[in-house]
Structures are given as structure tokens and as C-alpha cells.
Amino acid sequence: MSDNVNLYQHQDFFVIKAKENGVHVIGLTRGTDTRFHHTEKLDKGEVMLAQFTEHTSAIKVRGKAVILTRHGVVDTSE
């Protein structure tokens, strides 16, 4: 197992729960140029567990969803 896998294995996860069909979860890259590198589409009631990695520095959520982190809860419809 690589050191990077061990590094991210113990980091916090966050949860995204779709409140409507077609919620987009978009991963943005690290580095000098921020780019989209991964997209997932969630339908109502679907849940995605995610974490930041060596490749992902930000996540963009488009649509109505609830995002749960250890820092609190964000409801995108508010």
C-alpha cells in the first residue's frame, strides 16, 4: 500500500445526500490550475461519502442537497 493511500485513509469523510434528482457533485483538482476532474450525478435520496485527496482540493455541489461534515451541516436549498 502506498503512503498516499495510508495518508488519506484516516482523513475525515463528508456526506452528500441529494434532495432532488440530478444533483451534481464535481471534484476540482489541486495545483496551480484548478480544473474539473470528476463528476457524479445523484438522484433524490442517494448518498455519497467523499473525502479530499492528493488530487481533489475542492468539491462543488450543484442542486438541492444536504452536506454533512464534522464542522456542521449545510443545506444547499437554504
Query: What pLDDT, on the 0 to 100 scale, is given for residue 58?
Result: 87
Cα separation, 20 vs 53, whole angstroms: 27
Architecture of domain 3-75: Sandwich (2.60)
Domain boundaries, given as residue ranges, for the chain: 3-75
Q: What is the pLDDT of residues 1-45, one digit of tens each?
A: 455 555 555 577 899 999 999 999 998 887 777 787 889 999 999
Q: What's this model's pTM, rounded to 2 decimal places?
A: 0.78
Confidence of residue 68 (pLDDT cuts 50, 70, 90): very high
Query: What pLDDT, on the 0 to 100 scale, is given for residue 1?
Result: 47
For the segment 43-72, the average pLDDT, to the nearest whole number, is 92
Here the cell at position 15 is 456526506
What backbone phi and psi angles, to 5 degrees, belong to 67?
Answer: -115, 120
